[in-house]
Amino acid sequence: MTLQHILPLFGIDPSEPVKPIHKSAWDIGGQYILKKGANANELEKSMLLSGLLPAKGIPVPEYYAATPAPSARSTKCCPGK
């Protein structure tokens, strides 16, 4: 599956410019960062922290799982957003 197939699943125009910024991350149109991960535990930890840190006034990215995550949060990590 290519990025042009994945982006519309998140409501993003597939014609947006895509620029690699890391071996596993891409800038999408200067508005989004798409990050690929293979370690489910590390991704879960990042998603958990992104759900907790805003309560402390710390800005963090919002995570969306592209495939079912191991936990109950299978589509969006941050409750109440």
Residue 79, pLDDT > 60, answer no
Mean pLDDT of 5-18: 87
The CA distance from 32 to 64, in Å, is: 12
pLDDT digits (tens, 9 = 90+) for 46-56: 888 888 888 89
Residues 79, 26, 22, 38, CA torsion sign: positive
Angle in degrees, CA 10, 77, 68, rounded to 5: 70
The CA distance from 56 to 26, in Å, is: 28
Output the pLDDT for position 66: 64
Please provide residue 32's backbone torsions phi and psi, each rounded to the nearest 5 degrees: -135, 155
